Structure 1
């Protein structure tokens, strides 16, 4: 399958804001409004749909959410769609979407968490690159040195282009900012230090230098897609067998035993058959008894004979790398520096 990249964002382009999973609770709408103004200040028009202000577990009935998402992704005037954040039940949209229509004129779909429930199948089924990066509510934050914002990636995304990002080796140790009290907060509190960690059987200090097509998402959502028409990573990997894969997974809150079971399920579904490396996010998720999160990764994947890198900035612990599903990535890691270089090639 040939990877197709949406055309680069240009000043004046329209950014669509829809909530295909959860909407924004009323007390936090000030943050949504501020995030929209930040995007406008970057030089873009913004179109906010009806769903982002929806309340409850989901922002609106599934048919309404599917129609609004489809309308934005197929409108030639909208060049990127950035939901406020994720949620829990984007999975109920999958059978309601016309995937051929969504892939006809590639438009950037951006986000992480439950948004990855849509990013992954859009790339797997249509070959359209998608952008696993900051959600709209994260957009006002200053991006740490070495990391690109979703707007930077989408603006630079041209066929053959190259995007380099470096781990800042710093992260946030605590929870989320209080958007109700501080809707305009713009600085991440990156108060903890820590590099990526090598979990495979090789010398932990041994350098890593591997390449492959990027694919992945949030463990708690995309793992349920394995074995369905929406999560056929094995088929995608076979189509890119000459390059292999770099699979990345974001662990939000599952305990270590749940993570181990999910990784085994993905392994049995062929997700790692062509993997040249697996990247696992930094997480605050708990251990299960004496089984820690790193132990869970080793239990399921430790004998694959490929680099397993943990504490990568591809999850819910800020900051977040902007990763393009479908891009050809080179991952380099050593004692002093960790980088991901993405080449936007078909």
Structure 2
């Protein structure tokens, strides 16, 4: 919060900040506070401290009628917050940002990527490129005010199912383990969102947090059966440290579930639980190019 204040932002801290349990307050209180913040014209952006665990308990408690009447407000985060980002975009048509949480926000953005604050401050086009970097956080116990990622090694985007790629579509996606629970409900109807934007197509992105490869494989098959990829022109897959299965790697899980679609896959992108983070705007019109040395994604907020 000090980092944001030092850069001229006014920071309002909610009441639901108890860190002693799995959630910061009862679901009803959290839903009421989030609704109030998103409907308050003085609040321009809501960013959680961390991803959390059970945001799914909020989706049917938010005041969707009030939100539909409000001016759009940015909601930024990732991990379990995907459970809220997704329906805010698919039900309301608001742009939401799958990017850093508050705890990640002070980290310096490496070359090629853009900070989420840059994305929310203008319509674009916002161009980001493969950073070539695999990083990690500094533990809070080691450095609670860290602003430089701990470098782990090199990494880069890879294609599966195509030699080169230029694809355009509306972005939608998030964390596999949380989104799969929304499939088949009114809060995760990506198939309907795809039909709504059929003229543009979809670029669907997915990333695994911590579940084993067999579970991720099952989850992705579930999303496939729910029609999430019917209008996809490309599928972006985040880099992960989630464990392999003795008989299946995480990459094999993705290919098993999604390879049969005939849609190009872009693997090992910086869009998940392995930093640094390439922020993606749900609802933005994006163009992804992977061709030779050109690895980039361009986002227009229109």
- The SS at the match of 2:174 is strand
User: What CA distance in whole angstroms lies between the structure 2 residues aligned with 1:77 and 1:131?
Assistant: 19
- SS of alignment partner, residue 151 of structure 2: coil
Structure 1 stretch displaced more, 93-102 or 70-79: 93-102
CA distance in 1, matches of 2:235, 2:142: 38
Partners of 1:283 and 1:108 lie apart in 2 by: 26
| 1:164 pairs with one of 123, 127, 138 | 127
What residue in structure 1 maps to residue 296 of structure 2? 339
TM-score, normalized by length of structure 1? 0.85
Per the alignment, in what secondary structure is the counterpart of residue 52 of structure 1?
coil
1:65 aligns with 30
Select 1:192's aligned residue among 153, 169, 182. Answer: 153
Are the aligned partners of 1:79 and 1:108 in contact in 2 as well (CA < 8 Å)? yes
Q: How many residues align?
A: 301
2-structure distance, mates of 1:65, 1:287: 35
What is the aligned partner in structure 2 of residue 235 from structure 1? 192
- The CA distance in 2 between the partners of 1:151 and 1:40, in whole Å, is 13
Contact residue 99 and residue 122 of structure 1 kept, 8 A? no
Find the aligned partners of 1:163 and 1:91 in 2 and give their Cα distance: 30
Deviation at 1:55, TM superposition (A): 2.0
Determine the structure 2 residue equivalent to 1:254.
211
Residue 144 of structure 1 aligns to a residue in which SS? coil
Q: Distance in 2 between matches of 1:297 and 1:92?
A: 28
**Residue 79 of structure 1 contacts residue 107 of structure 1 at CA under 8 Å; is this kept in 2?**
yes
Aligned residue for 1:15? none
Larger deviation: 181-190 or 255-264? 181-190
Superposition misfits of 4+ residues, deviation over 4 angstroms: none
2:41 maps to which of 63, 76, 80: 76
* 2:127 counterpart SS class: strand
Match of 2:88 among 118, 122, 139: 122
The answer to whether the 8 A contact 2:168-2:286 is kept is yes
Mapping for residues 254-293 of structure 1, pairs under 5 Å: 254-293=211-250
Q: Secondary structure of the equivalent of 1:252?
A: coil
1:13 corresponds to: none
Pick the aligned partner of 1:297 from 233, 249, 254: 254
Match of 2:272 among 296, 315, 324: 315
CA contact (8 A) 2:172 2:202 kept: yes
The match for 1:148 is 114
- The residue aligned with 1:45 is 10
**Whole-Å separation in 1 of the counterparts to 2:192 and 2:58:** 22
> Structure 1, unaligned stretches of length 5 or more?
1-35
Residue in 2 aligned with 1:325? 282
**RMSD of aligned residue pairs (Cα, Å):** 1.2
Following superposition, the deviation at residue 53 of structure 1 comes to 4.0
